[in-house]
């Protein structure tokens, strides 16, 4: 392991299960075989292009990026795009120094800089990253991870090979089953009692966000066991109250509900509203509601203010749709 790899590892908190049990090889990653085959191909070639990894939170983008570096023997440096206050300084100084120097211990052809959550960076930062890609191409490769690839500017997007982390129908049950087994092994290793039915429900309910499930299990396991009470402790979103306000056409209460639920992902909230449509709306209004939800789901990747976008979606449903 190289100096920079050691530096990254030492900064990790191995009391966190997501780090302690993070897969170290591509094969250990819980992802579709065709996705893992792409990364294994890079290892066989001994070479990687600049990469843009796009997919939902917690699916394993950063994990497989690190595993790829491990298998290539490449020095890597990780920067989190969400750390807006320090990000520019890190890119301009530490990352630049890392990218411009020759590796003394790594066996890979190139060093690698992993920019996590790159879609949380602004256009000015992304332009700086594009310039760095070109300046350090002979010595360094970049791997960007994002939830919304539409938020990555075209000049940066076009300089990367894009890999979409998508999970198709039959793959969902297989991958959820693999994670269920791994979660059991982790709890056994940590000597935590658990109810298998509860674990299965957690994995199924929050698939494919394995990171969230593991973090919540660790937090709840402080009591020594995982039981049905964890299901209530999960910050799941209930839209029953929201649906009532929409039906009553009470804009003020709808807005209050939105403000109180800002910590939740807007796309998840809209999905819950979609699920509730069939029980809450008259059949003739369901198509209109689906079109509204699809429109605002798409806009999530672009808008500057998620609160306004979500409130606009709900207001349009409230005005245009007939409730039972």
User: What's the whole-number mean pLDDT along residues 88-112?
Assistant: 73
Transcribe 97-127 into DSSP letters. Answer: HHHHSPPSS--SSSEEEEEETGGGS-HHHHH
CB contact at 8 A, 109 and 46: yes
Number of domains in the chain: 3
Residue-level pLDDT at 97? 78
Same domain, 96 and 140: yes
Contact present, 76 and 141 (Cβ < 8 Å) = no
DSSP 238: P
Q: For the residues of 177-237, what is the DSSP string, one character each?
A: HHHHHHHHHHHHHTT-EE-HHHHHHHHHHHTT-HHHHHHHHHHHGGGSEE-THHHHHS-PP
Q: CA distances (Å), 48 to each of 4, 12, 42, 79, 151, in order?
A: 19, 25, 6, 19, 23
Residue 76 and residue 185 in one domain: no
Measured over the CA atoms of residue 259, residue 261, residue 262 and residue 266, the dihedral's sign is negative
* Site of tokens 């910590």: 263
Same domain for 273 and 228, yes or no, is no
Put simply, whether the predicted model's pTM sits higher than 0.85 gets the answer no
Which of 196, 217, 233 lies at the terminal end of a domain, its last residue? 233
Burial environment of residue 260 by CB neighbours within 10 A (0 to 12, 13 to 18, 19 or more): exposed
For residue 252, the SS3 value is helix
Share of the chain above pLDDT 70, in %: 90
> Are both 11 and 150 inside the same structural domain?
yes
Residues 248 and 265 in one domain: yes
Question: What is the number of other CB atoms lying within 10 angstroms of the CB of residue 14?
Answer: 11
Q: Are residues 62 and 125 in the same domain?
A: yes
Answer yes or no: is pLDDT of 153 > 50: yes
The pLDDT, as a whole number, for residue 10 is 36
- Residue ending a domain, among 114, 133, 164, is 164
CATH number of the domain at 15, please.
Answer: 3.40.50.300
CATH number at residue 180: 1.10.8.60
Q: Which domain holds residue 256?
A: 240-320
Burial of 323 (0-12, 13-18, 19+ CB in 10 A): middle
Residue spans of beta strands (DSSP E) within the chain? 51-54, 76-80, 111-116, 140-146, 161-164, 193-194, 225-226
Instruction: Based on the fold, state whether residues 149 and 194 are members of the same structural domain.
Output: no
Backbone angles phi, psi at 174, to 5 degrees: -65, -45
Confidence class of residue 234 from pLDDT cuts 50, 70 and 90? low
- Whether residue 114 has pLDDT greater than 90: yes
Q: What is the pLDDT of residue 235?
A: 52
Question: End of a domain among 110, 143, 164?
Answer: 164
Q: Where are the beta strands (DSSP E) in 168-221?
A: 193-194
């Amino acid at each position: 392991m190289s100096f920079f790899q050691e530096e990254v590892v030492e900064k990790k908190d191995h009391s966190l299960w997501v780090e302690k049990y993070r897969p170290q090889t591509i094969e250990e990653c819980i992802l579709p075989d065709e996705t893992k085959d792409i990364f294994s191909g890079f290892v066989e070639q001994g070479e990687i292009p600049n990469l843009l990894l796009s997919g939902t939170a917690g699916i394993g983008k950063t994990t497989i990026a690190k595993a790829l570096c491990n298998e290539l023997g490449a020095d890597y440096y990780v920067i989190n795009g969400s750390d807006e206050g320090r990000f520019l300084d890190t890119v301009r100084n530490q990352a630049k120094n890392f990218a411009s120097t020759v590796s003394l211990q790594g066996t890979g052809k190139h060093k690698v800089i992993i920019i996590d959550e790159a879609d949380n960076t602004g256009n000015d930062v992304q332009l700086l990253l594009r310039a760095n890609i070109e300046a350090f191409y002979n010595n360094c490769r970049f791997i960007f991870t994002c939830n919304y690839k539409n938020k990555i500017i075209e000049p940066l997007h076009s300089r990367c090979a894009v890999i979409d982390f998508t999970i198709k129908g039959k793959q969902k049950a297989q991958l959820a089953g693999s994670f269920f087994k791994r979660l059991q092994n982790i709890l056994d290793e940590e000597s935590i009692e658990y109810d298998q039915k509860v674990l299965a429900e957690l994995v199924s309910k929050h698939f494919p966000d394995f990171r969230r499930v593991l973090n919540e299990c660790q937090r709840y396991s402080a009591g020594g066991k995982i039981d049905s009470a964890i299901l209530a402790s999960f910050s799941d979103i209930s839209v029953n109250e929201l649906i009532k306000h929409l039906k009553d056409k009470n804009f003020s209460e709808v807005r209050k509900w939105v403000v109180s639920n800002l910590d939740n992902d807007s796309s998840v909230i809209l999905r819950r509203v979609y699920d509730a449509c069939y029980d809450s709306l008259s059949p003739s209004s369901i198509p209109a509601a689906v079109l509204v939800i699809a429109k605002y789901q798409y806009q999530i990747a672009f808008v500057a203010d998620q609160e306004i976008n979500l409130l606009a979606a709900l207001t349009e449903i409230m005005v245009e749709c007939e409730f039972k």
